[in-house]
Structures are given as structure tokens and as C-alpha cells.
A = this chain, B = another copy of it.
Amino acid sequence: MAVSHKQQVDAEAMCPHRLVLEHLTSRWGVLVLIELLERSYRFSELRRAISGLGGRGVSEKMLTQTLQTLERDGLVHRDAKPVIPPRVDYSLTGLGREAAEQVRSLARWTHDRMGEVERARQAYDANRQAYDANRQT
């Protein structure tokens, strides 16, 4: 039924570039972009690749939706070859590549800083527990 793209968060009164930002930082958007930075992928291939990144896989539905959104925003190029069985290749556009690189570097940053984050969490949780403990006395 042609998915009128009124699906996502609906813009409402939100400035449009916030929307795009949400698209590329979305749960699967991030992974798709990073994966496509490596090379182009076919649909199912991409699905498997993403599932391989830890976490459980994407549903077909969400991958489709994510890809369509990114394609509409001009970040991903969809190349459907008219053969049987169907073959569709996805790749980044120039615009998409720029975005993907930023996203990847942010992802790498979080990866590199995990140690510090973990420590911060332990400290936080410890305080938290101490606080909660002497509260119920």
C-alpha cells in the first residue's frame, strides 16, 4: 500500500534535519551504514552480515524499512537487477559515505572508551546502592 512515509515520527513540528539524524542514528541505520562502508551488499547478505555483529538479527521488515528510509534520504543506492531470481544490490551514495564515516567514527569512539564507561557505571551503581541502603532504615 505504498507506505506514504508518514511512518517515522511524523516530523510534526520538528526541524527536518533532526529527522535525518534520527534515520542515520537509528538502531539498524547505524549498522547498515557501517556495513555498507565496507562494500555493497545484497539484501539477505546484508541481513546476515548485520546479525553477525552481535545482538540478534534484523527482521526483514525492519531492514526493508531502514533501507527505504536511507534510500529516500539519498544515502543509499538501490540497484534492482531484472533477473530471476531477483537480485538487488545496496551501496552507499557519496552523501551516504560521508554520513557513514562519521557514524563509524562515533561507533569506534564508543568502542574504544568502553573501559571508562564501565568504570563510571560501577562507581555510579555503587553509590546508588549505598544510598538506597541507608534510606530504608
B74–A116 touching, CB < 8 Å:
yes
Query: Is A119 part of the binding interface, using a Cβ–Cβ cutoff of 8 Å?
Result: yes
Q: Sort A-B residue pairs by CB-CB distance and give the 10 closest, nearest first.
A: A74-B120, A25-B25, A14-B55, A15-B54, A72-B124, A17-B111, A17-B110, A20-B110, A21-B110, A102-B106
**A interface size (C-beta, 8 A):** 49
- Is the CB of A42 closer than 8 A to any CB of chain B? no
**A113 contacts partner chain B, Cβ-Cβ < 8 Å:** yes
Min CB–CB distance A33 → chain B (angstroms): 11
Provide the bound-state CA to CA distance between A86 and B42, in Å: 56
Select A117's contact among B5, B20, B117, beta carbons within 8 Å. Answer: B20
Residues of B within 8 A of A21 (CB): 30, 106-107, 110
User: A interface, by DSSP: helix, strand, loop or mixed?
Assistant: helix
Chain A positions within 8 Å of B, measured between CB atoms, are 2, 5, 12-18, 20-22, 24-25, 27, 30, 53-56, 71-75, 95, 98-99, 102-103, 105-107, 109-111, 113-114, 116-121, 123-125, 128, 132
- Assembly stoichiometry (copies): 2
- A13 near B74 with CB under 8 A, answer no
Q: Let me know if A22 and B12 touch, CB within 8 A.
A: no
Docked Cα-Cα span, A67 to B12, in Å, equals 25
Chain B residues with Cβ under 8 A from A15's Cβ?
A: 53-55
